[in-house]
Amino acid sequence: MDLMLNKDQAAVQEAIEAIALDFSSSPSDFHGFALVSPELDKVLLENGFFEIATIPELGPVSAAVTVERLARLPYTAETALSMMLSHVLGEVERPIAVVDGLRPGRFVREAKTVIVVDDDRIGLCHPGPSEVEDRPDALYAYPMANLVSLDGVYWLSDAERDRIKTWLRIALANEMAGLLQGAIDATVAHLSIRKQFGRPLGAFQALRHRLAECTVLSEGVRWLAVKAAWSGDAGDAALAAYHAQDAATRVIYDVHQMSGAMGMTLEMDLHLWTYRMKALLSELGGRGGQAQAVGQHVFGV
């Protein structure tokens, strides 16, 4: 397995880094839950980044690394599904959303294509405005909405279902990897500034150890997610998604505790990553669903 980026993939990442500079900090007057950026979406669309998985020289690995980097930003846009599933879904309109039956999902209001997961079925639909219900009370850092009914869903074949579910897991893992690192970076910044007993909190060894453990978990998610994008294997995808959701539960707890009272307010940007992770924790059946998939695809049980 060779996960070194080729020349074209490295050039794409340089371009993404340049774009990320313009979206690396939140507005000083923002104190809400979801910091959605149509401008980021527009820049990515105009420069063809949503199609990179379909380009042979770039492929899903380049899309995966891009998704991870963008998820570290305080701003959010519908990137993961459009980038990671473009070579699977073919010519479908974006933005793309995924929902579990009639439960709320992220970017459903804006979505031109919705992937519906309903028990053991997966289907597609293209809802109109009257077929979507907004959920402004949802405490997640994404715009949330749900479908009113499943009447317009076109259910896919078993083979199509399995392939799409594999890439949904890969997209989830890569997005979670970026969110984990974003939350850790925000916590490190806070611990470097906040002082106690005349010293920055980050100077205390106990906090350093916990941050190191969080970083190990984050890096594990990142490499499993990239490997899954490289192989496209259902077992690799299940392992990556399971570790992503499992690691997130630990990291969310730790970074909020290390950030103290500030981490529980909207004055600090930490929620822009942790509240997004909370939305991802229940996707595709949550940890239980991924554990079953690991058993099926990795151990044959």
Between 85 and 139, where is the model more confident?
85
159-297: CATH topology: Butyryl-CoA Dehydrogenase, subunit A; domain 3 (1.20.140)
Q: What mean pLDDT value characterizes the chain?
A: 93
pLDDT for position 202:
62
Q: Looking at the predicted structure, is the pLDDT value of residue 1 above 70?
A: no
Per-domain boundaries in the chain: 159-297
Q: Which residues contact 76 (CB under 8 A, 6 or more apart)?
A: 34, 35, 36, 37, 141, 142, 272, 276
pLDDT bin (cut points 50, 70, 90) of residue 278 is very high
Give residue 96's pLDDT.
98
Confidence of residue 195 (pLDDT cuts 50, 70, 90): low
For 129-144, how does the pLDDT look when each residue is reduced to its tens digit (9 = 90+)? 999 999 998 889 999 9
pTM here? 0.95
Report residue 205's pLDDT band, with 50, 70 and 90 as the boundaries: confident
